[in-house]
């Protein structure tokens, strides 16, 4: 395990819940998967848990707050106190009326309220304040779940170098759902403050990356996203359970006793078990309706099967949850009224949470577990049921809309919206030969034992460490202040200085329409000053066409290279082309580009003397991604026997003569003199050709943090401008 300092775990709830009864404080463990998962980390990792203690400020006297702080500290916990008003807007409001329904595919239940959003932001800020108070250098920070999606970025702003992981315990919905959220961009930016973002399944990863690409324009490479020059990782970490705890539960005499008790009460009847928090996302009503249909279509099972339905109270202050309870209880009454007899109650309904012994006893005696949420991030109950079966028979029926179904393929997997399919699955489960049941369970048990809860937390923390290491390696080449000083000093000493500067992405930023990226006053003034000094030779070396470069930069006294070296214009001279002009290939290629442009709204074709370029910056990113692959394939095929190459740049695909490149363009100047200072800067693949022909002592700078032949990297266009300004300042001082 790779943690250096402490592990700060930040979640809405703490593993110890504070309850206020008759003015007195009581503390109860709230054992969730997360608390168990982290308790299995090596002892050597010091932990501190931050979260809401469970009571709002209004109910607490000052000394009670101190009492909470003290009691929690003994359990390595630290409270984030919140007021009733804050809990209303943040927890009941934005978390449970906005994010929860939307992310579980219930757009019609979703409430979009600006005041909920405002409080959500405030509470995330309050969490951040508390983190800042307790964090020490070297701590790793792990933020959990949808209640705290703004927190990673908030922490990043105040502790820029910190190591931050984020895990979402609920589904990440498809872009079509997520786009409905008025604060979608803020939420994404909040999360992108992390170094590692984890989800339960690859589907959620895929949906998240799609939202990132469509909303922020940031692309990913194998789950790596470059955000403000930090590379961050997005990956799937399916959460497991404490396998041994469940598989060995029945060895405990209390559990055995409990199991026998239930069996005695139910007698020979088969038991179907249903356990969930009483949440509309769990499909409990639909499940009971399916059971109703099952009994109506299969009269032979009336009196022979009992459904034990455990509904754990949750979020009882939210109206949707209260309504659900009364609907469910009505339905239970109806089904029992319809099929019950003096000695037979079809549905045993419990509205409470169960202690461990009772829960595992139920797992043990049940013949079937019917777990059919309409949507569920993971669902650990399903995994617990399989583990608790040990070597016994028992069939899991699970909804394909749960994260867990991805790992439990040997179960009976059903579409939870398809009542007929649930009815059939219940029958199939009840009639499956016991040997087959055991066989299926064994395969799943092996998997669950291996990918257990401690493996989950360790994998996540290892991945966090790995991505940090990657970031460090990448920033090792960052142009440091001291290196910039040295560069300025060498520049200052030189009297024959060559500047080879790329234009787009290096001197000016990108624009939606390439034609709009003309030079601003600042860059014009900078280049003018630089080229005014007779000791400086400034060359703008670009892929743009001649006319555009001339129009934008023709008057400022720099040499110009257009079309990656296809055209050259020395100061005060005319354009010259150092390469022969053979462009017959364009006739073949152009129609293919046109066809793809017609099929990709927002994309355009640019024709230059030496190349054809397909631009897709303004097209839908996912469509463009597909089209780019198709187009690339077609072009590579067609150009195989020509002296023409297909190149991928920043939101472009370019077909150009192989002989034309920035390396050759730069050579015209490199061989001209014995330069005593060379500075080359660029951001794109075409600039790599320029970097590769430079002498070793030249300063080469890449804008951005992807792999490059350049000696140094800088963050942005802004940094290049600052550097040039610095050089000018120093030079002015000496002239
Ligand atoms: C889900 C969420 C958790 C939450 C739990 C209980 O599993 O992902 O963050 O703690 O439900 O919900 P509650 O509203 O009672 O905290």
Give the pLDDT confidence score for residue 519 in this predicted structure: 96
In sequence order, what are the beta bridge partners of 529? none
| Cα gap 123→129, rounded to integer Å | 10
* For range 319-342, the mean pLDDT: 97
CB distance 169 to ligand 1 below 6 Å:
yes
* For range 318-347, the mean pLDDT: 97
- Whether pLDDT at 37 is above 80: no
- Whether pLDDT at 673 is above 50: yes
Give the pLDDT confidence score for residue 729 in this predicted structure: 82
Burial 518-545 (b: 16+ CB within 10 A, else e): ebeeebeebbebbbebeebbbbbbbbbb
pLDDT-based confidence at residue 32 (cuts at 50, 70, 90): low
Q: Do 210 and 204 meet the contact criterion of CB atoms below 8 Å apart?
A: no
Which ligand 1 atom sits nearest the alpha carbon of residue 11? 9
Q: How far apart are the CA of 203 and the centre of ligand 1, in A?
A: 21
Q: Residue 409 to residues 398, 422, 444, 665: CA-CA distances in angstroms?
A: 9, 16, 8, 59
Average pLDDT, the chain: 93
Give the pLDDT confidence score for residue 5 in this predicted structure: 85
Give the pLDDT confidence score for residue 734 in this predicted structure: 46
Q: Token pair of 536, please?
A: 């400086």
Q: How far apart are the CA of 689 and the centre of ligand 1, in A?
A: 53
Residue ranges with strand state E in 119-269: 140-144, 163-167, 196-199, 220-221, 224-227, 230-236
> Whose Cα sits closest to atom 10 in ligand 1?
13
**For residue range 525-567, what is the model confidence (pLDDT) as tens digits?**
999 999 999 999 999 999 999 999 999 999 999 999 999 999 9
**For residue range 581-623, what is the model confidence (pLDDT) as tens digits?**
777 888 889 999 998 998 899 999 999 989 999 999 888 888 8
Burial 281-304 (b: 16+ CB within 10 A, else e): bbbbebbbbbbbebbeeeeebbee
| Pairing assessment for the beta strands 220-221 and 224-227 based on DSSP bridges | antiparallel
Instruction: Report how far Cα 730 is from the mean position of its chain's Cα atoms.
Output: 44
Nearest CA-CA partner of 188 in 141, 159, 227? 227
Give the pLDDT confidence score for residue 33 in this predicted structure: 64
> Whose Cα sits closest to atom 7 in ligand 1?
169
CB distance 145 to ligand 1 below 6 Å:
yes
Pocket test for ligand 1, best of 28, 30, 32, 239 (most atoms within 8 A of CB): 32
CB distance 6 to ligand 1 below 6 Å:
no
> Whose Cα sits closest to atom 8 in ligand 1?
169
Burial 661-677 (b: 16+ CB within 10 A, else e): bbbbbbebbbeeeebeb
* For range 112-139, the mean pLDDT: 97
CB distance 314 to ligand 1 below 6 Å:
yes
Give the pLDDT confidence score for residue 388 in this predicted structure: 97
Q: How far apart are the CA of 100 and the centre of ligand 1, in A?
A: 10
Largest Cα–Cα separation, the chain: 106
* For range 190-209, the mean pLDDT: 97
- Whether pLDDT at 648 is above 80: yes
> Whose Cα sits closest to atom 12 in ligand 1?
314
> Whose Cα sits closest to atom 16 in ligand 1?
13
Determine the number of helices (DSSP H) and then strands (DSSP E) in the chain: 26, 28
Burial 211-230 (b: 16+ CB within 10 A, else e): bbbbbbebebeebebbbebb
H or E segment at 569? strand 567-569
Write the DSSP assignment of 99-136 as a string of letters.
IHHHHTT-GGG----HHHHHHHHHHHHHHHHHHHHH--
Pocket test for ligand 1, best of 10, 12, 316 (most atoms within 8 A of CB): 12
Give the pLDDT confidence score for residue 735 in this predicted structure: 41
pLDDT-based confidence at residue 153 (cuts at 50, 70, 90): very high
CB distance 315 to ligand 1 below 6 Å:
yes
Q: How far apart are the CA of 500 and the centre of ligand 1, in A?
A: 57
**For residue range 247-270, what is the model confidence (pLDDT) as tens digits?**
999 999 999 999 999 999 999 999
Pocket test for ligand 1, best of 96, 314, 402 (most atoms within 8 A of CB): 314
Which residues, other chains included, contact 206 with Cβ-Cβ below 8 Å and sequence gap of 6+? Answer: none
**For residue range 499-515, what is the model confidence (pLDDT) as tens digits?**
999 999 999 998 777 78
Give the active site residues.
502
* For range 318-326, the mean pLDDT: 96
- Whether pLDDT at 1 is above 60: no
Q: How far apart are the CA of 246 and the centre of ligand 1, in A?
A: 21
Q: How far apart are the CA of 167 and the centre of ligand 1, in A?
A: 13
Rounded to two decimals, the pTM is 0.82
Percent of the chain with pLDDT over 90: 81
**For residue range 380-398, what is the model confidence (pLDDT) as tens digits?**
999 999 999 988 999 999 9
| Cα gap 275→287, rounded to integer Å | 11
Which ligand 1 atom sits nearest the alpha carbon of residue 95? 14
Q: How far apart are the CA of 250 and the centre of ligand 1, in A?
A: 27
Give the pLDDT confidence score for residue 622 in this predicted structure: 81
Give the pLDDT confidence score for residue 2 in this predicted structure: 56
* For range 166-177, the mean pLDDT: 97
| Cα gap 359→221, rounded to integer Å | 44
CB distance 170 to ligand 1 below 6 Å:
yes
């Amino acid at each position: 395990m790779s943690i250096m300092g402490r592990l700060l775990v930040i979640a809405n709830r703490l593993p110890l819940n504070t309850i206020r009864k008759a003015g007195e404080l009581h503390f109860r463990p709230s054992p969730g998967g997360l608390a168990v998962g982290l308790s299995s980390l090596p002892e050597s990792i010091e932990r501190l848990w931050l979260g809401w203690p469970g009571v709002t400020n209004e109910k607490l006297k000052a000394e009670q707050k101190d009492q909470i702080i003290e009691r929690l500290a003994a359990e390595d916990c630290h409270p984030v106190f919140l007021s009733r008003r804050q809990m209303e807007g943040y927890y009941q409001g934005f978390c449970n009326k906005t994010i929860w329904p939307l992310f579980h595919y219930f757009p019609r239940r979703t409430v979009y309220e600006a005041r909920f959003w405002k409080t959500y932001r405030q509470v995330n800020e309050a969490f951040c304040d508390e983190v800042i108070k307790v964090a020490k250098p070297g701590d790793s920070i792990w933020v959990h779940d949808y209640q705290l999606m703004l927190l990673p970025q908030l922490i990043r702003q105040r502790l820029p170098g910190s190591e931050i992981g984020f895990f979402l315990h609920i589904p990440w919905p498809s872009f079509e759902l997520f786009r409905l959220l008025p604060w979608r961009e803020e939420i994404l930016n909040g999360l992108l403050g992390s170094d590692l973002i984890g989800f339960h399944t690859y589907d959620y990863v895929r949906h998240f990356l799609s939202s990132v690409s469509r909303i922020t324009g940031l692309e990913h490479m194998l789950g790596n996203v470059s955000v403000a020059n930090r590379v961050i990782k997005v990956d799937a970490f399916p959460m497991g359970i404490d396998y041994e705890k469940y598989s060995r539960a029945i060895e405990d005499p209390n559990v055995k006793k409990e199991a026998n008790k239930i069996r005695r009460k139910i007698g020979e009847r088969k038991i179907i078990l249903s356990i969930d928090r009483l949440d509309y996302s769990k499909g409990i009503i639909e499940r009971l309706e399916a059971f109703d249909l099952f009994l109506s279509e299969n009269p032979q099972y009336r009196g022979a099967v009992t459904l034990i339905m455990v509904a754990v109270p949750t979020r009882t202050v939210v109206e949707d949850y209260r309504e659900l309870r009364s609907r469910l209880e009505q339905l239970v009454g109806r089904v029992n009224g319809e099929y019950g007899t003096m000695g037979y109650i079809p549905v045993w309904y419990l509205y409470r949470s169960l202690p461990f012994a009772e829960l595992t006893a139920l797992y043990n005696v049940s013949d079937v577990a019917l777990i059919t949420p309409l949507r569920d991030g993971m669902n650990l109950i399903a995994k617990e049921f399989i583990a608790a079966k040990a070597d016994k028979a028992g069939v899991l029926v699970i909804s394909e809309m749960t994260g867990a179904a991805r790992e439990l393929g040997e179960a009976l997997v059903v579409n939870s919206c398809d009542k007929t399919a649930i009815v059939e699955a219940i029958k199939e489960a009840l009639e499956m030969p016991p040997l087959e049941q055991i066989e299926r369970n064994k395969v799943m048990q092996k998997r669950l034992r291996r990918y257990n809860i401690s493996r989950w937390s360790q994998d996540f923390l290892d991945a966090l460490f790995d991505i940090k290491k990657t970031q460090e390696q990448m920033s090792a080449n960052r142009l440091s202040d001291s290196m910039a000083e040295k560069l300025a000093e060498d520049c200052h000493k030189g009297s024959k200085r060559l500047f080879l500067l790329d234009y787009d992405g290096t001197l000016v930023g990108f624009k939606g329409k390439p034609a709009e990226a003309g030079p601003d006053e600042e860059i014009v003034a900078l280049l003018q000053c630089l080229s005014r000094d007779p000791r400086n030779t400034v060359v703008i070396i670009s892929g743009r066409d001649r006319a555009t470069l001339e129009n934008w930069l023709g008057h400022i006294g720099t040499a110009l290279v257009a079309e990656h070296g296809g055209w050259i214009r020395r100061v005060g001279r005319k354009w010259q082309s150092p390469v022969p002009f053979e462009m017959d290939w364009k006739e073949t290629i152009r129609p293919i580009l046109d066809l793809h442009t017609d099929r990709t709204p927002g994309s355009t074709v640019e024709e230059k003397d030496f190349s054809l370029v397909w631009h897709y910056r303004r097209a839908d990113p996912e469509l463009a991604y597909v089209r780019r692959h198709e187009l690339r394939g077609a072009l590579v095929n067609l150009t195989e026997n020509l002296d023409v190459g297909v190149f991928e740049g920043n939101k472009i695909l370019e077909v150009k003569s192989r002989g034309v490149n920035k390396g050759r363009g730069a050579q015209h100047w490199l061989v001209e003199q014995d330069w005593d200072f060379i500075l080359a800067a660029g951001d794109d693949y075409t600039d790599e050709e320029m970097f590769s022909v430079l002498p070793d002592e030249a300063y080469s700078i890449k804008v951005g943090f992807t792999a490059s032949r350049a000696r140094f990297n800088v963050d942005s266009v802004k940094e290049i401008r600052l550097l040039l300004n610095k050089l000018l300042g120093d030079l002015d001082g000496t002239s």
